Amino acid sequence: MTEVSDTMQASLALLAACFGLGVLARWSGKFPDGTVPVLNAWLLRIALPALVLRTIHGLTPDPALFPAAASIWLVFLVAAALALLAHRAGLVTRAQAGGLALTAGCCNTAFVGLPFVEGVAGAAGLEVAVVVDQLGSFLLVSVLALPLAARMGGKGLSTGEVLWRVILFPPFIALLAAVLMRPLTFPTLLDSILRRLGDTLSPLALFTVGYQLRLGALRGRAVLLVTGLGYKLLLAPLMVASVLRVLGVHGLPYKVTVTQAAMAPMVTAAILAAEYDLDGEFAALMVGVGVPLSLLTASWIWTVL
């Protein structure tokens, strides 16, 4: 277990370092104004599609884990419903509702979740965590999160225009390509290229979030931040635990899935929020505060389970 724990520590240390470098980069004033749009374009149009294409293509899911993966979708649907209700009640702006739905509803099951689960549950737990991540979070981004972001930040786009944006979204194209090419075996060189491109997603994403983080953005958003993280880090895993109990899921799949649901907001969700002008500063706060905090809350939840 010591070797596995070292792996988790190294992965989380890399995330922390990239996040800190992003904060320092903004503080230095040496980076151009177009830094964030350029990095977001790389992440959404190159790194994420490469990761989706490689992982979904090689995925051999266990049908028994479908309820576990579906529970991650439930976290998003409830978060989106609550955010939209808050907007209709006049409690938050349309942009805040979109940013809240994306960040409170999407779980960081990959960049933080996978190394965490590997550290506490070993290889057996990691197998479950990968399925929850790929069938849960990966598919969720293209099928639900992107359409919501396009609708909330689309500034009057019609339904057809929203659907067209989804169809042309590079990760969604990569998802379809991965499914269609499942009978084929990727050449070693292609697999290596996709892996290297996908590996840039995590460090660059955390760098971008750190670069956008402004503690001054807390002004007027403190209650919203506490509400969003309260749902994401505590209520969401409690809801998933209850649902999985009813569905008869138990043992390691139960513990790993609840722990994945307790992970911090997804970095890609924050990038989508910034891309569609859904209060990117708030989204960066959700991730910047949520990632370190989730390591504490998820550890406590794992211990309780």
Euclidean distance between CA atoms 196 and 279, whole angstroms: 31
Euclidean distance between CA atoms 51 and 155, whole angstroms: 30
Q: Is 70 exceeded by the pLDDT of residue 3?
A: no
Q: Which residues, listed in sequence order, are joined to residue 107 by a DSSP beta bridge?
A: 265
Asked if residue 67 lies in contact with residue 247, where contact means CB atoms within 8 angstroms, the answer is: yes
pLDDT band at residue 70 using 50, 70 and 90 as cut-offs: very high
Euclidean distance between CA atoms 174 and 194, whole angstroms: 11
Q: Which residues, listed in sequence order, are joined to residue 265 by a DSSP beta bridge?
A: 107
- Spatial neighbors of 11 by CB under 8 A, at least 6 apart, are 114, 115
pLDDT band at residue 155 using 50, 70 and 90 as cut-offs: low
Please measure the distance between the N-terminal and C-terminal CA atoms of the chain and give it in whole angstroms. Answer: 19
Torsion of CA 105, 110, 115, 120, to 10 degrees: 50
User: 157 exposed, middle or buried (CB, 10 Å; 0-12, 13-18, 19+)?
Assistant: middle
- Of 243, 269, 259, nearest in space to 299 by CA: 259
Convert the pLDDT of each residue in 237-289 to its tens digit: 999 999 999 998 989 999 999 999 999 999 889 888 988 899 988 998 898 88
> Would you kindly state where each structural domain of the chain is located, as residue ranges?
2-298
CATH number among 1.20.1530.20, 3.30.70.330, 1.10.3720.10, 1.10.150.120, domain 2-298: 1.20.1530.20
